Amino acid sequence: MKIGILGSSFNPAHAGHLKLSLKAIEIFNLDEVWWLITKQNPLKNKSEYLPFDLRLKKVENLITNEIIKLKIFEDSTESIFLIDNLKFIKKNYTNETFIFLMGSDSFCEMDQWRDYENIFKLMPIAVFNRNEEKYRPLASVAAKTFDKFKKKSGIGSAIFEDIPAWTFIDDFNAEESSTMIRNK
């Protein structure tokens, strides 16, 4: 099976998460998308978070199909860091093929993530445009560091052939954001 992993705090989950997941299924011919929820993003202030149970409930209410699944691995890994959870997934789901899905806003700060370079070495990455913000993500530290591994948009399933590999989906736009929803 080919599985997309969308890691987020889902604080709260919104239509943009769903839109990104459905677009990834279409582009990469995915069998499933796992919403990998974190209890606490290490780069964000804990006081900004909705209660975890409420975030879980909002995710469950938003997912209305069998292809998108909520996953929580932090209790098994005893880590809130994405790299640890992705390593756990790769170790325990050896018959699956994975791609990491993310918004361009997250890609801009990816170099601040623990051991971010090894995320590129674990699985391909698809970066989805947010708010028509093409230039800032493509000028980010992660983009520059892994520039020679960037694949053209429209590569589809071929992205799984070589790792590291990443692509920027620029014909996508999701204006929804968790921050915007919380601030309302």
Q: What's the whole-model pTM score? A: 0.91
Q: What CA–CA distance (Å, rounded) separates 35 from 136? A: 25
Q: Tell which residue, 139, 37, 136, 106, has the closest CA to residue 125.
A: 106
Coil vs helix vs strand at 168:
strand
Q: How many domains does the chain have?
A: 1
Whether 115 has a pLDDT exceeding 80, the answer reads yes
Q: What is the pLDDT of residues 132-154, one digit of tens each?
A: 677 889 999 999 999 999 998 87
Q: What is the pLDDT of residue 177?
A: 52
Domain of 70, in residue numbers: 2-183
Contact 33, 101 (CB under 8 A): yes
Q: How confident is the model at residue 126 (pLDDT cuts 50, 70, 90)?
A: very high
CATH number at 171 reads 3.40.50.620
Coil vs helix vs strand at 142:
helix
Q: What is the pLDDT of residues 74-99, one digit of tens each?
A: 999 999 999 999 999 999 999 999 99
